[in-house]
Amino acid sequence: MGNFGNALRRVFAPRTLVVQPGCEALEGFMRSVPERFAAGEGTVVYKGRNELRMMECAGRKLVVKSFRRPNVVNRFVYGIFRPSKAKRSFDHARLFLSIGVGTPYPVGYLNVRRGLLFDRSYYVTFMSDCPHTYNDLFYQDFDYADEVVRAVGRLTAVLHEHGYAHKDYGRGNILFAKTETGVKLDIVDLNRMYVGPIDIKRGCKNFERLPATPHMHRLMAEEYAAARGFDADECFRLMQAYRSTQPGKINGLY
């Protein structure tokens, strides 16, 4: 049986826990996450299809993401064939950090099963020190707003040059902060990722869920094009065209 037997035990284990090296002191916390959620512990950060809560352990602030229980078919699929959303988030976070793209530091993930069926998964990170989201650019005044927009263009180029495109690249999934050395960005909600070649059209289309004024699109296009060796005017045209297909506006702007 050997390796095959070990693989079977991992697949059918009631709980599968993976903790980032260096975070072993938080293993006990990680194991207790389902019970903490059930007890209502922590401060709700977001609640929708999935739920995010801020909790504290050993003096550190942690963000715990509980992914919604899948439907019956997907409970079987995730139980046997596909990695959980929590595992994908964890793996993508480590990948991002390895190529110099900011994301909240991953602590680990926990998969929970019931019999042969997958039940829930949980992903835990240290809390980001970026207090704002891209969406805040439309509701608050930042004297460094242009720096944020340019940074988004540069960071997106880094991802695309490595062959990765965030599939939920929306206004709430880009966090930012002003630091002594410039603007810091953290990207969140990492479970869905395109992997493969990214040309100018696919690359510019990846910006389509980010609302922007023409000025903002121009700044993003300039930085993105410079980093990838593309024509800035063509990137600007494509970004505006792809964004125009998206429903809804913010303050009357696309």
Instruction: Provide mean pLDDT across the span 72-87.
Output: 67
Residue 73 lies in a domain: yes
Q: What is the residue range of 170's domain?
A: 132-243
Domain boundary among 102, 126, 150: 126
If pLDDT is split at 50, 70 and 90, which confidence band does 197 have? very high
**8 Å CB contact between 106 and 125:** yes
Chain position carrying tokens 């929708």: 48
Tally of domains within the chain = 2
pLDDT at res. 7: 47
User: CA-CA distance, 212 to 224, in Å (whole number)?
Assistant: 15
pLDDT at res. 251: 47
Domain boundary among 76, 92, 126: 126
**8 Å CB contact between 67 and 50:** yes
Q: Assess whether pLDDT exceeds 90 at residue 58.
A: no
Residues 26 and 117 in one domain: yes
Angle between helices 214-228 and 145-161 (to 10 degrees): 40
The pTM is what? 0.89
Residues 32 and 72 in one domain: yes
Compute CA 63 distance to the chain's CA centroid, rounded to the nearest angstrom.
Answer: 13
Residues 138 and 50 in one domain: no
